[in-house]
Amino acid sequence: MPDPSRSMPSNGRRTSIDSQGGVDAELGHASLTQPFLNGDTLSTHDHDHDHDTPLLTTSETKSLKRSLAQRHLSMLALAGSIGTGLFLSLGQAIQRAGPLGSLLAYAVVGFVVCAVQFALGETAALVPVTGSFVRHAEMLLDPAWGFAVGWNLVYGNLVSVPVEATAVCVLVRYWGWGIHDAVVILVFWVATVGVGMARVRVFGEVEFVFALVKVTFVVFLVILGLIIDLGWVPGQEAIGLRYWSDPGPFVEYIATGDWGRFLGFWAVMTGAVFSFAGVESLAMAAAETKNPREAIPRACKRVFGRVVVFYMLAVFVVGLLVPSNDPRLDGSGDTVAQSPFVIAAQQAGIPAIASLVNAVVITSAWSAANQSLLAGTRVLYGLALKGQAPKIFLRTTSWGTPYICVGLFAIFILLSLLSLSESAITVFWWLVSLTAAGVLVSWATILLNHIRLLKAMKKQGYSTTKLPWHNWWTEYSSPLAFVTVIVFLLTGGFSVFTKGNWDAAKFVSSYLDIPIVSSAFLFWKYTKKTSIVSLDEVPLEMAFCQIEEYPNEPEPPVNKRGWIHALSWLWD
């Protein structure tokens, strides 16, 4: 490793690291003395200095608390990925592409998810900061791109939380209890804001429980589906692979022949991207995670397998249970009654499954709201740290919660009261679809950050073995996945360009995010005169010095007994 006492470039400025591991404050960088990885209080500097450093800042290490464990991160990604898309919308995938077409589409997207997870893990393990890849973009790409992606995420999450409240209202109506929507929204508001204002560990434990519930239910549905398919339900004959033969493994979409079958496959693949949305949020609270340089990589590599296995099994079983031409799949995802699992259970004489699915989907909606609030508030806090949002958002409680950020989201949740008007529900779902392409923008940013990190290391003469976590294949998987994500982004609304299928709302929801992010990027670049970060100026030496100066805390011994250990395969 290069001598840590020598000066190094950082954003075009000389930064010296003294023998104590601190950064020269007079050069405008936050102190890094004793020891930021453990979350201890550091020397106090004015917030004005914080936005000059691309690494951990005084404000983060002084105000936020490291309370999230590795099991929280792993289950956080599971909870975010297994949601309404899995329980309600798989039927639409089967209808669009057929059982084999859907399975192949999810396999391709699974590769992209794997590449994104590993790219995020390698970068976040080196630079574990609040806001994750948003801050990495400023360090590795261009401060203007960090601004654009950051505000795009804040905007998307501000809209997403009230939409989840609206979804809960619709789901509760399924039971016909006559509970007024305003009461449902009030309960949702109290629960969501309560978790958001609590210690981050409370959030971790809530999502941990949600993930266990959802994983258990997915396993139950898969096993139930296999039992139904094999004819082990009294009075029901075996289905086997009947629907793979008739109506067939593929479905034609828009066109006919092989081209039509390919378009069906592609339409499902672009939709499958959003089913996996959420895995990228696991590092958003990296500055609030214990031993992030070990916990984040563990969560990334272990969660991927679980998520893909659950989805692949679920898609396969759904393709066995319901034929692609079943008219009940029309509009799949609008109500619980159109879930393929529910259709199959009702055919087998088990009507109670609908209520179970509905209950679990309600917990999924609340879980999604919690995650949107956490991701949105931490990105907003990170933007404020970098001088890209008002400084008032830097205020935190004594237990480390950015309460002004949470307060802003609490106000937006009240917008869900508009759902008391039936027509407003459609408007809200349209609004959230506008941000759907933001998932692909985030994935592209993660992959590009990683590509730039490896290029900077090569340019500055560092071996990849110096990274806290690295896998040789990511040098190839990240560029390939980046190109694939860009293709997904550009073809997300391809159906509107085919003859007779123009839909203005679909066109806007598929592509509006591109000019929104581009405009934000150009605005910040023009007003602040930013430039693309030179590979020579990426502050790698500072990052590597931090790793050596401040190693991880020793982990406490693990309890090898009890039900928690029996389930620990999910995260460990």
Tell me the pLDDT tens digit for each residue of 89-100.
788 889 999 999
What are 11-59's pLDDT values in tens digits? 333 333 333 333 333 333 333 333 333 333 333 334 444 444 555 544 5
Identify the pLDDT of residue 386. 85
Helix residue ranges, H only, 21-89: 47-50, 58-63, 70-81, 84-88
Rounded to whole angstroms, the Cα distance separating 455 from 334 reads: 46
Identify the pLDDT of residue 456. 96
With pLDDT > 90 as the criterion, what percentage of the chain qualifies? 35
Across the range 516-533, mean pLDDT stands at 94
Least confident among 3-7, 458-462, 487-491, 524-528: 3-7
Identify the pLDDT of residue 256. 92
Q: Is 0.85 surpassed by the pTM of this model?
A: no
8-state DSSP, 327: G
Residue 341 confidence (pLDDT) above 90:
no
| Extended strands (E) in 83-180 | none
Identify the pLDDT of residue 451. 97
Identify the pLDDT of residue 28. 32
More confident residue, 167 or 532: 532
Identify the pLDDT of residue 429. 55
Identify the pLDDT of residue 542. 87
Identify the pLDDT of residue 54. 52
Residue 274 confidence (pLDDT) above 50:
yes
Where does the pLDDT of residue 331 fall: very low under 50, low under 70, confident under 90, or very high at 90 and above?
low
User: What b/e sequence results for 496-520 when a residue is b if at least 16 CB atoms lie within 10 Å of its CB, and e otherwise?
Assistant: beeeeeeeeebeebbbebeebbeeb
Rounded to whole angstroms, the Cα distance separating 185 from 432 reads: 18
Give the dihedral sign, CA 18/20/21/22: negative
Residue 237 confidence (pLDDT) above 60:
yes
Across the range 213-226, mean pLDDT stands at 88
Identify the pLDDT of residue 218. 86
- Domains of the chain are 67-552 (1.20.1740.10)
